[in-house]
Structure 1
Amino acid sequence: MAFLIRNTQTRYGWIAILLHWLIGLLFIGQIALGLAMVRVTSQRTAFELIQLHKSLGFLLLGLVALRLGWRLANGTPNLPAGTGLLERRAAPAAHFALYALQLLLPLTGWALVSASVLEIPTMPFDLFVMPNLPVAVSDAGEAWWRAAHACLAYAAVVLVTIHVLAALRHHFRLGDTVLTRMILPSRQRDDTEPE
């Protein structure tokens, strides 16, 4: 049977799956790049990594906005029937926190470069100059946004780890479809399949 683009009651469609994995890999890569770029000793390499980090941050921001729009317009599959009450309440809260971090991290990074006294233009992928956010330019402001960005990044590491462990728990311990439905797209017959 043909794979569907839209989600069903039991599985995700191609669009949700592709956005999930693309954003997930980009998000994890951005955290790794952020940690690496502040530890390199070469100023030239650090500058190039920072420019790449900023470009990928704007790409991430756009993809997350697209994913949120798709989720609002498309809905999500139901949780498996055996899912407990605590998990039914925790799962939406965890997903909300993940979306919030995926938006707040690029936004605080944008605020950080906007507040920088160095006033280095931000050019995503060397295509155009991204205007600064309307924040005060000062050393104190830059330090505040840097701290906020770093705190959110460490919170993201914790939350992504919990998210991955929860998915693995569903797959290997509970044996349900929570993980596989984010790997294999929906098919028309899935709407009638039991969980």
Structure 2
Amino acid sequence: MKDYFGIYWTYPVRWVGLTRFEDVEHAATVSRTIRYQREQVLRHAAAQKRAVLVEEAFLEAAPDRGTIEVADEIAAAVRKRPDLTPVLVDFSNPLGWRRHHELRERMVSAGAEFLPAEPVFLDGRQFDPVEHFRNWAKQWADHAGSKEEHRAAIIAALKDTPLTGRAAYLNRLGLLTHTGKEWTADNLRKFFER
């Protein structure tokens, strides 16, 4: 029996600063979704008396859907280790959330094992992925609804500032765009054209 290649992935959440990973350890620190997947894979491997010899975490390019580019990136990583069985959590069934058809298709072809997205004990408490993603959906809706408040805060911060250097000034204050990006002269100009 082959040992495992743990595959973990999530979407970026720019407005909270989740835009990159350094490695799997870092990914598991900054993303509860990655930490959850890793825990599921490690538990499964222990139950099967197999080892997880390679782990990789992937961050999607789009904040709201799985992309072909990341599916291809994951498939390329798996092809480099044909001696290992890819294993990943399947969020599409029964949750119906986070479907990633391209990734599933490539992982089925690679002989992957798919683990059910079931609740586990994580970070000292019960973690239910359904509840977790519902909470994120609510947080996103709340964030999207705060756009006018954000706009007012930016305008207030710029009230007595000179016209030049405003983008750098906002960035120094930590007042990013509503989507969590740094200000540039161009996106600040567009902000005021609205």
User: When the two structures are superposed, what TM-score results if normalisation uses the length of structure 1?
Assistant: 0.27
User: When the two structures are superposed, what TM-score results if normalisation uses the length of structure 2?
Assistant: 0.27
Write 1 or 2 for the structure with the bigger share of helix: 1
Write 1 or 2 for the structure with the bigger share of strand: 2
* Structure with more contact order per residue of length (Cα contacts < 8 Å, sep ≥ 6): 1
